[in-house]
Amino acid sequence: MIKVQFWGVRGSIPTPGRETIRYGGDTTCIEIRTGNELIILDAGSGLRRLGLDLLSRTKDQPIKGHIFITHTHWDHIQGFPFFTPAFIQENLFIIHGPHYDDKYLHQILAGQMATEYFPIPIDFMSAHLDFIGLSEEKIKIGKATVSSIHVNHPGIALGYRVDYQDKAVVFTGDHEPYHFFHADPIKQLEVNGEILSAETTDIERFTGKLDQKLVDFAQDADLLIFDTAYTYDQYQNGKKGWGHSYPEYAVKIAAQANAKALALTHHDPTDTDDCVEAKVAHTLQHIQQQGLNMECFAAKVGDVINLD
């Protein structure tokens, strides 16, 4: 069984307040449990409460966990300085993130704790912290496997897939449909031994291949958690190139991948709970119109999903 718990579902900036209380205002953080292993996807502001919860759950026992950061934009790392378990010597955290150089990830996380931004330097975190830079690879964590894929977002960003027993959860991280190219790592693609380049390949063919690569990555996921910050209309009217997706695109990828359930996330800071619910209703209608059989809901802070 994989246990998934949402601690942060908001994009861009924490949005506390009466209008976001049902879905939650904390930025991205997802806890995944595979047997005894603790896997955390992203260190947005939701990580603060997860840290406190881990301490109360484990009492005085040491905590060991893996944190996989999709990318280092603020809303995906800003909870890290407030992650209390990292200040306790007996604990161990292995922090993975997108870059070939392990030092780079440490620099970014230490950088947001420099005196200009934060009173406590990263060196005050007395837990054992390891930093590992990733590209597209597979990592064994106990009996689980975590795979990574480059996605389309300004800077370098990864999506993650966690496989355990015969269950899988996939998280796109921040991702925009491929017609608007961002990251260098996705501008070249190997298809059956042939190297395709975004510059020289027909755009429809190239984006089609990239979509297929994402579909393959998400194949048969029991839960696909997808960045759907915008509605299709918002995307078309001023949000193209901002690095995020909309539900129709998420449904297309989920359907082709045969995903069983689709969770919409990275709710826009301007989206009230009512907006989030309207987006889900619209997406469910779209799924029905397409004749698809797929569960769909909005990621909500506090929700626990057991994949078994």
Candidates 49-57, 72-80, 163-171, 279-287: pick the segment binding Zn ion (CB under 5 A). 72-80
Candidates 6-14, 125-133, 188-196, 250-258: pick the segment binding Zn ion (CB under 5 A). 6-14
Least distance CB 266 / Zn ion (angstroms): 6
Alpha carbon distance 91, 207 (integer Å): 43
Q: Do 29 and 46 form a contact (C-beta atoms < 8 A)?
A: yes
Q: How many residues bind Zn ion (CB under 5 A)?
A: 4
Contact residue for Zn ion among 75, 163, 176, 222 (CB under 5 A): 75
Cβ closest to Zn ion, residue 11 vs residue 177: 11
Alpha carbon distance 34, 142 (integer Å): 8
Q: Does 31 bind Zn ion (CB under 5 A)?
A: no
Q: Does 8 bind Zn ion (CB under 5 A)?
A: no
Q: Does 98 bind Zn ion (CB under 5 A)?
A: no
Least distance CB 58 / Zn ion (angstroms): 29
Alpha carbon distance 124, 270 (integer Å): 35
CA-closest candidate to residue 27, choices 201, 191, 174: 174
Q: Does 42 bind Zn ion (CB under 5 A)?
A: no
Other CB atoms within 10 Å distance of the CB of residue 204: 9
Q: Does 11 bind Zn ion (CB under 5 A)?
A: yes
Candidates 131-139, 167-175, 253-261, 292-300: pick the segment binding Zn ion (CB under 5 A). 167-175
Q: Does 66 bind Zn ion (CB under 5 A)?
A: no
Cβ closest to Zn ion, residue 12 vs residue 34: 12
Q: Draw the binding track, 123-162, toward Zn ion (x: CB under 5 A; -: no contact).
A: ----------------------------------------
Cβ closest to Zn ion, residue 153 vs residue 213: 153
Task: Give residues in contact with Zn ion (CB under 5 A).
Answer: 11, 73, 75, 174
